[in-house]
Amino acid sequence: MKRQLIAAIDVGSHAIRMKIGEIKSDGTFKELENFRKLISMGHDTFTTGQVCFETVDLVCEMLAVFKQIMNDYGVKVYKALATSAIREASNRDYIVDQIKLKTGLELRVLSNSEEQYLTHKAVKYGLKKYNTIINEGAVIVVVGAGSIQVTTYKDGHLTSSQNVKMGALRVKEVLAEIELSSLKYQDILNEYIDANMSGLDFFSKDVIYKHFIAVSGETSMLQQIIAIEDNVKENIERISKGRFKKLFITLSDMTMDEIQKAYNVKYGRASIIIPSMMLFSKFLEQAKTKEIIIPSTSLVNGIIYDMYEQLYNLDVQNEVSGDIITNAKVIAVKFGIDVGHAYAVDAYCTSIFDRTKEIHGLADKERLLLRLAAILHDCGRFINFENHHMHGFYLIKSLEIFGLSENDMEIISHVAKYHSFLLPSSQDEEFMKLPEHNRVVIAKLVAILRISDALDRGHKQKIEIISVKLKNKELIIKGQTKEYVNLEEWSFRKKSQFFQTVFGITPVLKIVREI
């Protein structure tokens, strides 16, 4: 592959960043320019619910400058992504439109789970001995401007990932009046954080993680402060818990002006270092690790690495899918789902999907969404058995699954909704609001999920699939069992009708009884 110039833009809650560089023919990335401009859109969103147009104008002006720099370099390939300040703004669509009109840049708003996925990718590529650390067990705490993501790893695999809307800037803005009027601001801030974190599973489990990885827009400032105190030029990657606590106490006793002057940081960044460190402190108390790992990386790096993987067609899907499936299974357990049934339906769906590619024409991404719908399709029973398909629909729509977009969750929730008796139709307003392409994908996945669910209608995993073959206009599914499967055969006949409607193929179940 020839040398490729690329640019990554992160329109964040507290700042706008751009990184320009080149991917060389050997696949290495060389940074050419790195820009950062403090524009606190989060101040608007977290206090009023929308970004004011004066701020939008500032953002457009800065992005226009970025666009000109890209043109000067001759950059043709770029990604411009926005996070929580625009994601949560009631006028987000207008902001994106104004940016397009005034700068020509196509801005895409990330879901929180996509944002975290890219941030973790930045950590993966930017942290020394990443694989060893993850295998030994680690918790990664990402303190953003608007939210915190807590992700745990054990034996190299993601075990859980949770989000709470309580980032450093959000905390600061919510308690801005108290900061000005109360002498006990630190105590109130501490109490507010405790109240909002109480629901996180991380604090309800007595688990000791060997490694604690702290990621934040303010960790680079923390590294800068330590470098000044130690009179060194290079940023350190690890500090002891004791050093962190001591530094936190020191900074807490200083005014923002004093921090700004002593450590050569801008006032806007200095103002959120205390909330950021306090948030990290809460997790440190629980994690019981001896040191903190601070990777020198950020979301914009994750965007760069994601572009690199796409440009080189690197096959990282299996690794990513594994983490996503694990995340979904953790959620399934929380909802009290019959995991034996869920995993059986997942296995049936996978087998049928893989053997019917010539008639459905779907890709690996849709295969993943089908598996997630299979694992979560009964989660509505957590609310009520009656109409559990609808309860499940709304529950899944409200979920965040690591690495998935809002559009992905929309598809999964609809597929799960139709696993029972309800079918996609023009009478379903929610379904008809979706783009035509999504409706077609959903119908195909529903057809597969319904016959897969029927194969375990009794929730006893009686049938083992031996083969799935297409012959003429029939999909012949051959299974074996030692038990009576009258209920499954009856359910299969009923649920196979939609498969025939979608594909023009008749599913036929042939059971071999083992003696």
**Of all residues in the chain, what percent are helix, strand and coil, respectively (each to 5)?**
55, 20, 30
- The mean pLDDT value of the chain amounts to 88
Q: Domain boundaries in the chain?
A: 4-110+304-308, 128-296, 317-513
Whether pLDDT at 405 is above 80:
yes
Rounded Cα–Cα distance for residues 186 and 274 (Å): 9
Which of the four CATH numbers 3.30.420.150, 3.90.550.10, 3.40.50.720, 2.60.120.620 does domain 128-296 have?
A: 3.30.420.150
Whether pLDDT at 23 is above 60:
yes
Rounded Cα–Cα distance for residues 68 and 284 (Å): 43
Average pLDDT over residues 79-106: 95
Average pLDDT over residues 481-494: 94
pLDDT digits (tens, 9 = 90+) for 187-212: 777 777 777 776 677 655 666 788 99
pLDDT digits (tens, 9 = 90+) for 283-319: 887 777 889 999 888 899 999 988 888 877 665 566 6
- What is the CATH topology of the domain spanning 4-110+304-308? Nucleotidyltransferase; domain 5 (3.30.420)
pLDDT at 2: 64
pLDDT at 167: 79
Which of the four CATH numbers 3.40.50.1820, 3.40.50.300, 1.10.3210.10, 3.30.300.10 does domain 317-513 have?
A: 1.10.3210.10
Q: Compute CA distances 235 → 202, 262, 297, whole Å.
A: 29, 17, 11
Whether pLDDT at 503 is above 90:
yes
Identify whether the C-beta of residue 14 lies closer than 8 Å to the C-beta of residue 36. Answer: no
Q: Give every CB contact of residue 346 below 8 A, 6+ residues apart in sequence.
A: 371, 374, 375
Taking residue 260's Cβ as centre, other Cβ atoms within 10 Å add up to: 17
Q: Give every CB contact of residue 18 below 8 A, 6+ residues apart in sequence.
A: 7, 8, 9, 10, 33, 34, 35, 66, 69, 300
* DSSP-derived secondary structure letter, 161: E
pLDDT digits (tens, 9 = 90+) for 243-295: 998 988 888 888 888 888 888 887 777 778 888 888 888 888 777 788 999 98
Whether pLDDT at 21 is above 80:
yes
Q: Beta partners for 107?
A: 80
Task: Provide the edge-to-edge strand list for the sheet that holds 77-82.
Answer: 29-38, 15-23, 4-11, 77-82, 107-109
Identify whether the C-beta of residue 346 lies closer than 8 Å to the C-beta of residue 339. Answer: no
Share of the chain above pLDDT 90, in %: 51
3-state secondary structure of 465: strand
Whether pLDDT at 181 is above 70:
no
Rounded Cα–Cα distance for residues 500 and 352 (Å): 14
Whether pLDDT at 65 is above 90:
yes
Q: Is the fold of 4-110+304-308 the same as that of 128-296?
A: yes
Whether pLDDT at 178 is above 70:
no
Model confidence band, residue 182 (pLDDT cutoffs 50, 70, 90) = low
pLDDT at 272: 82
Find the length of the chain.
515
Rounded Cα–Cα distance for residues 330 and 62 (Å): 42
